[in-house]
A and B are shown apart, each in its own frame.
Chain A
Amino acid sequence: MIPAAFDYVRASSAAEAIQLIGQYGDEAKFLAGGHSLVPAMKLRLAQPTVLVDIGRVSDLSYIRDGGDHIAIGALTRHMDVEKSPVLAEHVPLLAHAAGHVGDPQVRHRGTIGGSLAHADPASDLPATTLALGATYVAEGPNGTREIAAADFYQGYFTSALAPDEMLTEIRVPKMGGAGWSFQKFNRRAQDWAIVGVAAWQRGSECGVGLVNMASTPVLASSVATAVAGGASAADAAEAAAADADPQGDLNASVEYRVHLAKVLTRRALEAAAS
C-alpha cells in the first residue's frame, strides 16, 4: 500500500513549519515521526496534499528540568522519554508509560508531540499526561499559548490545536515521590490498550487517567474525589467509569470496558499506594 501522491516540504524550525503550514492551508499536515500519519495515509484514512516534515526540527527534542516541572520538546521520541534519567527521577509514570507504546521500532520513531496532537483516545500518553496535570505549549502565527491537557482533547482525533498551530513543548509537573502505576490491558503484544489506566497517588491526593474509555482520554475525577474522601482502593475504583463514555467495538463491549476500567483502576491504586 502506497499513500496517495502529496507534496513534501521540510522545515528546519518551528517558525518555518508554521509559516509553511499557513502557506499551504487546510490540506497540509505536519509530519513528525509519521507512525500514526503514514499508516493512515497508506490506508487512505488521511489524504493530505502537502506534508510539512518537522522530524528534523532537532531543537525541539529535549527533556529539561524546569523547576517544578519537566519540559519535554514535542519532537522527543518515545524511546528518549522511556530512557530519560530526568523523567525516571521526577516523572517515572510518564517514562514507564512511554515504554508501553507500541514496540521498540515504533518508539524509535514516534514522538510525544505526535502522539498527543493525534488525540487518539486509545493512545497511552494522552491519558497519562492528563492524569499528571500536564500543560501543552502550542505555537502559531500569532504567538505561543499554553493549553491544559484537560482542555486539549475534544473528540476522536480532535484537539484544541488550530490547523496552523504546532505543539512545541509538554510541561509535566514533578511527581514529588508520589506512588504510581500504569495498567495496560491488551490482547496482542505491541497493540493499543483495550483499556488502560495511568494513576499516581500521594496520601489522599491522586490523579487517574483512562485510556480508550470515551472519544477522548478521560480524567477519572470521581475516583480522585472518593480517594480524597478516604475510600479504599476497591471502593474508589467502583467509580472508575463514572466520568467515562465507552463505546463497544470488536475487542470489547461497553460492559466489558467498564469492568476492565474498575479492575485496572483498583490494581493501579493498590500499586500506587504501596
Chain B
Amino acid sequence: MEITVTINGKSHTADVEPRTLLVQFIREQVGLTGTNIGCDTSSCGACSVHVDGEAAKSCTLLAVQADGCSITTIEGMAAADGTLHPMQQAFMENHGLQCGYCTPGMVMAATSLLAENPNPTEEEVRIGLEGNLCRCTGYHNIVQSVLACAKS
C-alpha cells in the first residue's frame, strides 16, 4: 500500500506492506536510525517518536496507521545549523545519558510531556516518563534534565 508520511518536515511516499511497523519504516526505508528498538514489545519506549506532536511507540504502530501524519524523530530535534534542541542541551548539561541507548526515546517522550505540562513537578516527570526504561538506570539525571529544560 502506498503511504505518504512527513518525517522531520520532509515528505516521504513509499509502498509498504501493511504489516510494516512504523519503526521499521523509519529505520529501514527512510534510513533514519536514531530511533532505537529496545524491547520490541511496547515496554521500553526507546522507539518513541512524535506522531502529530505526541509521543508514541513506533514499534507498536503500523506504518499504514501513520499515513498522512507528521512524524518527528530525534534527528529532527536539533536546528538546521546543528544547535541542539533545549531538551538535548539539558540532557548534555545534566549528564542525562550514560550509554545513550534510551536517550532518543527519552528526549521524544520528555518533549511531548513538556508540551502537555510545561511546568511539571519532579513526581509528574517521573510518572510522565513511565513508558521509558533506562537500562543504565540513570533515572535521577534524566529527571533532572527534564526539570532543567522546563525551567530554561
Chain A residues in the interface with B (C-beta under 8 A): 1-8, 31, 34-35, 38-39, 41-43, 51, 53, 55, 79, 102-106, 108-109, 189-190
Please give me the residue from chain B that is nearest to A102 by CB atom: B131
| Complex-state Cα separation, A38 to B55, whole angstroms | 17
| Complex-state Cα separation, A103 to B112, whole angstroms | 12
Q: Which of A2, A7, A102 contacts B24 (CB 8 A)?
A: A2
| Complex-state Cα separation, A4 to B62, whole angstroms | 12
Given contacts A3-B19, A35-B42, A35-B60, contact A103 B1 (CB under 8 A): no
B113 within 8 A of A: yes
Given contacts A38-B62, A39-B60, A189-B130, contact A105 B21 (CB under 8 A): no
B7 within 8 A of A: no
B45 within 8 A of A: yes
A41: B residues at CB distance < 8 A: 19
Q: Which of B42, B64, B127, B130 contacts A53 (CB 8 A)?
A: B64
B122 within 8 A of A: no
- Fill in one digit per residue for B38-52: 1 if any A CB lies within 8 Å of its CB, else 0: 001111010010010
- Fill in one digit per residue for B67-108: 1 if any A CB lies within 8 Å of its CB, else 0: 000000000000000000000000000000000000000000
| Contact call A105/B64, Cβ cutoff below 8 A | no
| Contact call B62/A5, Cβ cutoff below 8 A | no
Give 14 A-B pairs besides A34-B60, A104-B130 with Cβ atoms closer than 8 angstroms. A1-B41, A4-B19, A5-B17, A6-B18, A7-B18, A34-B62, A35-B42, A42-B21, A43-B41, A104-B112, A104-B113, A105-B48, A106-B131, A190-B130
B64: A residues at CB distance < 8 A: 8, 53
| Contact call A108/B18, Cβ cutoff below 8 A | no
A43: B residues at CB distance < 8 A: 41
| Complex-state Cα separation, A53 to B63, whole angstroms | 12
B61: A residues at CB distance < 8 A: 34, 38, 109
| Contact call B40/A1, Cβ cutoff below 8 A | yes
Q: 8 Å CB contacts to A: which residues of B89-145? A: 109, 112-113, 116, 127-128, 130-132
| Complex-state Cα separation, A36 to B130, whole angstroms | 18
- Smallest distance from the beta carbon of A122 to chain B beta carbons, Å? 15
12 example contacts (A-B, Cβ-Cβ < 8 A) are as follows: A3-B19, A5-B17, A6-B19, A31-B62, A34-B62, A38-B62, A39-B60, A103-B130, A103-B131, A104-B113, A108-B54, A108-B112
A39: B residues at CB distance < 8 A: 41-42, 60
A42: B residues at CB distance < 8 A: 21, 40-41
Given contacts A3-B19, A6-B19, A38-B62, contact A108 B55 (CB under 8 A): yes
| Contact call B65/A104, Cβ cutoff below 8 A | no
Which among B48, B61, B128 has the highest number of chain A CB atoms within 10 Å? B61
| Complex-state Cα separation, A136 to B48, whole angstroms | 33
A38: B residues at CB distance < 8 A: 60-62
B56 within 8 A of A: yes
Please give me the residue from chain A that is nearest to B127 by CB atom: A189
- Smallest distance from the beta carbon of B108 to chain A beta carbons, Å? 9
| Complex-state Cα separation, A3 to B127, whole angstroms | 31
B43: A residues at CB distance < 8 A: 190
| Contact call B45/A53, Cβ cutoff below 8 A | no
Given contacts A34-B65, A190-B130, contact A105 B109 (CB under 8 A): yes
- Nearest 7 interchain pairs by C-beta: A103-B131, A8-B18, A189-B130, A108-B54, A3-B19, A105-B131, A103-B130
| Complex-state Cα separation, A106 to B132, whole angstroms | 11
| Contact call B19/A2, Cβ cutoff below 8 A | yes
- Smallest distance from the beta carbon of A40 to chain B beta carbons, Å? 11
| Contact call B40/A105, Cβ cutoff below 8 A | no
| Contact call B40/A51, Cβ cutoff below 8 A | no
A109: B residues at CB distance < 8 A: 56, 60-61
